[in-house]
Structure 1
Amino acid sequence: MPEGPYRWFVYAEIALAVVTFVALLFIVAPYGGRHGRAGWGPTVPARVGWVVMEAPASILFVVFYLLGSHRFDLVPLLFLALWLVHYVYRAFVYPFLMRSGSRMPVLVMLLAIGFNLLNAWVNARWISEYGSYPVSWLGDGRFWLGVVLFAAGLTLNARSDRTLRLLRRSGGGYRIPQGGGFRYVSSPNYLGEMVEWTGWAIATWSLAGTAFALYTFANLAPRAFANHRWYRETFPDYPPERRALLPFVL
């Protein structure tokens, strides 16, 4: 870890993860849909909100990455590709697959932009400037374990989102999602994203990656528990064996 301001940005992200986790234990984030509610100020269409808040994570990540002295090295370029696979989808594909009509508070959008700026800086600067990734890193088991987890998490996330979209398109109000990861947990889309960024932390073997994985857990785990409570309260026939986040455990 280099001396100077960079390390404090990393520590700030870890501290933000702790604050976010504690806050979300008491507040359900109003991202729209069944958890959308009044009292959070002005709103924008959820599609607009998603594009605006997620775009910095891809566009500015590339800008920050290109500032690094290792920007043309093979392994950092592979990390860049992994990052963009997730965030190009999240910013420029996923929002246009969403159901129209849902809205998002401007405050939530602005908070997400702030985090994405911090996170993009911390991770892009690490992989292209402060980290050391010779070609031999491709032969390290940590790299491949991380990549496999990243791919598995991304797949679970995308497939679970698709299941939810198809359920909403069929009309008739909210229903219990079935199949895939929903056989085991109420929020496999969140679980997939946690697995994905845990894989990133392992593949990069960095405190920067770990900070992001911790924040992902802090942001999504409380929301997964809120989803689970909502399903159980709304549907008397909700599968009792289905867990909130971790199959067979939690």
Structure 2
Amino acid sequence: MPAEGPYRWFVYLEIALAVVTFIALCFVVAPYGRHGRAGWGSTVPARVGWIIMESPASLLFLLFYLFGENRAQLVPLVFLALWQVHYVYRAFVYPLLMRAGGRMPVSVMALAIAFNVLNTWVNARWISEYGSYPASWLADPRFLVGVVVFAAGFALNVGSDRILRRLRARGATGYRIPYGGGYRFVSSPNYLGEIVEWTGWAIATWSPAGFAFALYTFANLAPRAMSNHRWYHETFPDYPPTRKALIPWLV
């Protein structure tokens, strides 16, 4: 990590935010999706909220990346492509596939935007400026393992989203128990997939930026997965009793 300048302090800030976020979400469930409730101020349509809060992670990453001296090198370009695969899906494809009707508090959207600005800067600057990735990195075991883990997580994430969408017929409302895919084992395989993805990113980049993001992803999504698991059991008396919250056969 650069010994001078503000960069390392932004990495430390993201790690600190992970700790604060994990503690806070163990006591307060973020009020969107199935946990949506009044009392959190103005709201916007969930589809609009997702696009606004996630698009900076794609667009600003590209902008920050282009300021780096290593922006034209092969390995940084591969990392740019991996990042965009996830965030083009998350910011622009996923919201358009959502069923209309849900709403999201503006406060939740604003917090997500703030984090995405920080996280994109930390990761983009490392990839195209501060990190050192010769072409030989493509054959490094850390890169190879990390990309495989990233791809597996992305596939689990997208596949789990698809199962959830297909639970509802067009125009239907309410929630049902999902089955198949990762839902055979855990209540939130979409969250597990995203945690696995960014763990793979951390391994492939072997960077403090990647570690900070993977840590924050776990801190943000693990408590949410536990809340979802409790909600399913409280809502559906016939919910599969052997299904875990986040980690198959364990938690």
**TM-score by structure 2 length?**
0.98
Query: 1:172: Cα distance to partner?
Result: 6.4
Q: Which runs of 4+ in 1 moved over 2 A?
A: 168-173
Q: In the alignment, is residue 140 of structure 1 matched against residue 140 of structure 2? A: yes
Mapping for residues 32-181 of structure 1, pairs under 5 Å: 32=33, 34-169=34-169, 171=172, 173-181=174-182
Partner of 1:215: 216
Query: 1:235: Cα distance to partner?
Result: 1.1
Per-residue CA shift, 1:208-242, capped at 9, x if unaligned?
Answer: 00000000000000000000000111111111110
CA distance in 2, matches of 1:111, 1:180: 31
> What SS does the corresponding residue of 2:104 show, helix, strand or coil?
strand
Count of residues in Structure 1 that have an aligned counterpart in Structure 2: 249
CA distance in 2, matches of 1:16, 1:168: 35
CA distance in 1, matches of 2:140, 2:173: 50
Report which stretch shifted further, 88-97 or 161-170: 161-170
Mapping for residues 230-249 of structure 1, pairs under 5 Å: 230-249=231-250
Letter in 1 for 2:231: W
Partner of 1:9: 10
Mapping for residues 183-194 of structure 1, pairs under 5 Å: 183-194=184-195
Per-residue CA shift, 1:110-162, capped at 9, x if unaligned?
Answer: 00000000000000000000000000101100001000010000000000001
Letter in 1 for 2:99: R
Query: 1:73: Cα distance to partner?
Result: 0.3
Query: 1:61: Cα distance to partner?
Result: 0.3
CA distance in 1, matches of 2:173, 2:218: 32
CA distance in 2, matches of 1:243, 1:9: 35
Query: 1:173: Cα distance to partner?
Result: 3.1
CA distance in 2, matches of 1:86, 1:8: 26
RMSD: 0.9
Letter in 1 for 2:85: V
Query: 1:207: Cα distance to partner?
Result: 0.7
Q: Provide structure 1 residue ranges, at least 5 long, that are not aligned to the other structure.
A: none
Q: Provide structure 2 residue ranges, at least 5 long, that are not aligned to the other structure.
A: none
Query: 1:81: Cα distance to partner?
Result: 0.0
Query: 1:31: Cα distance to partner?
Result: 2.0
Letter in 2 for 1:154: F
**TM-score by structure 1 length?**
0.98
Shift in alpha-carbon separation, 1:69–1:172, aligned structure 2, 3 A? closer
